[in-house]
Structure 1
């Protein structure tokens, strides 16, 4: 796996990788991470992948991190942990 870029963003760490014929977009926030795989056949360049990371996409991912945290907390609560 080859790291192509760190993309600065105030809400999450965003890293772009290339691996096995795919671009991997990895977003991290605290203990949670999301990875999106985009086939190199679906885009023409790394710039196309960066274009996918518009405000709407990143905001949805940030909201998903909140839901992930809530889901984990709920599981802990269900099992009295």
Structure 2
């Protein structure tokens, strides 16, 4: 029983980044629709952004929020949306 609990805990922790990246991809796509921008780099962004950048990017609600992002988050955007 103890081994099962440990295995489930490990599986939960290892799935967390995957969930965050899929959340980021969906958030990116919704942002693109709402703001009339390109969503083609959203899957790239979800794969490229580290945990800190993902947390920041998930908080973006409008264009004004983009300016307040860290260089790390802006770098992930630039990597996936080079024309931005």
- Whether these two folds match at TM > 0.5 is no
Higher relative contact order (CA 8 A, sep 6+): 2
TM-score (norm 2): 0.28
Which structure: greater strand fraction? 1
Which structure: greater helix fraction? 2
